Amino acid sequence: MSYLIALDQGTSSSRAIIFDREGRQLAKAQQEFRQIYPQPGWVEHDPQEIWSSQLATAREALRESGLRPEQIASVGITNQRETTVLWHRGTGAPLHHAIVWQDRRTEPLCAQLRERGLAPLIRERTGLVIDAYFSATKLRWLLDHIPGAREQAERGELAFGTVDSWLMWRLSGGRIHATDVSNASRTLLFNVHRNDWDDEILAALDIPRALLPQVHPSAYEFGTLDPQWLGAALPIGGVAGDQQAALFGQGCFKAGMAKNTYGTGCFTLMHLGEKFQTSANGLITTSAAQTSARPEFALEGSVFIGGAVVQWLRDGLHAFPSSGDVESLAASVPDAGGVMFVPAFTGLGAPYWQPDARGAIVGLSRGSTMAHIARAALESIAFQSAALLQAMSRDAVAAGSAPVSELRVDGGACVNNLLMQFQADLLGIPVVRPRVIETTALGAAYLAGLSAGLYSDLEALGQQWQAERIFHPTLPRERALERMADWEHAIRQTTAS
């Protein structure tokens, strides 16, 4: 029993990866599922498709590995965060499509909460800003718009959860209604200092506590799978939201260590240790994956549109048939030719927090080509991430710590060498790509392995991390600062009323 299976439920696909105890990948399966866009700015998923695709990939990975179910020591779950599911406890049936983290329908409600003066309370208790990104207003919308939902919720008949909770409910046959601290900290309802739901915020948002899951550390024996799913009653031993799982999988266990995940969005996290720190530079404070009941924190910045800008070029403009083609197209020109692409399709996240911003391509000339736009699109991922890292370093210095000195990277787009080199050039620090870039799934597996006793402690896990390539900055700092100034000018054009 020295193998671990990680269920990695993402925004556009469900994956399952089996690792050995050294963190080597044995088998992997992936399945995309539908993205549902009922109105502009609205994004939904079918919870049943999330469940069926995740189960199918778990079964496929297990078959591909050639392992018997009994050889799996534990199951780890990592998931797209903030996405909100509401289901009936009796039937297990969802009452509505899941409202995805990218969805902006609740911005009017967020504005009302800000007008009521709740922002300081919520920031102090949860570490977050009031934004449609987080789960609470999505849940409130469901309660307000589904006939009879609020009455059922108050009678204790309904269950709310982020995707991890939904999967555990289904995997356990309805025996587990739980989440971990990292996912709970993304709801806008969780007091990160006490590691418990906050009754004052629940009352302010009119959300019944009976809806909410139990909260545990990220490495914890949550319960067991129903044997019908994978052939054995396997323990669920690790759960973390995808970004905190990636921080864990990158071996960033100590204060000051930082990672950036290049996925549908981009998410930069810096570990703070046990010190809660409020950002003065547009970042949020969130719970890190925790191996005990003791709170640990991270500073985070979220880019809403990262790799999704490449998908838009592929599907919206038909610029190329496959996302993998973007690097060669972008590399066919020496630079972006003055073109700047701000992909604010769903507003701007940290450090700007401009919910009304919309995407813009500026600096076009008669000589601009699709190659220039493709290069500008790739560069936009690095520009947004650099703005986050600069804000993070300013916060670190203000707290008496050193600025970020190295960035560990993961996620699908980190294999793009052009993008990684440009990221290092903008930041002026080494960008380090690990040997295993599936760090989100690896983090979930490591958490499960800790609870199963496969690893003795965090130090043992940290020794398993290895770099595959280091990108050193080559651009003079003066030129890098000029490029960032160009980016900030493009941002101002995008958000100008």
CA–CA distance, 201 with 148 (Å, rounded to integer): 23
Structure token digits, residue 68: 């018997």
Say which residue the tokens 């490449």 belong to.
310
Residues of the chain where predicted confidence (pLDDT) is lower than 70: 496-497
Q: Distance between CA 72 and CA 170 in Å, rounded?
A: 19
**Per-residue pLDDT at 451:** 93
d(C-alpha 253, C-alpha 52), whole Å: 33
pLDDT, one tens digit per residue, over 331-368 is 899 999 999 999 988 788 778 878 788 888 999 999 99
144, 163, 172, 150: which is closest to 33 by C-alpha?
163
Query: Which is nearest to 391 in space by CA: 273, 259, 280, 277?
Result: 280
Q: What are phi and psi of 258, to 5 degrees?
A: -135, 150
Could you give the residue ranges of the DSSP H alpha helices within 257-407?
308-315, 326-331, 370-398
Alpha-carbon distance values, 120 to 117, 128, 281 (Å): 7, 10, 15
The per-residue pLDDT for 496 is 63
**Angstrom distance (rounded) from CA 240 to CA 248:** 9
pLDDT computed for residue 412 by the predictor: 83
Query: Within a 10 A sphere around the Cβ of 413, how many other Cβ atoms?
Result: 25
Q: Which tokens belong to 236? A: 């669920």
Query: Could you tell me if 444 and 238 are in contact, meaning their C-beta atoms sit under 8 angstroms apart?
Result: yes
What is the pLDDT at residue 497? 54
Task: Tell which residue, 490, 382, 393, has the closest CA to residue 426.
Answer: 382
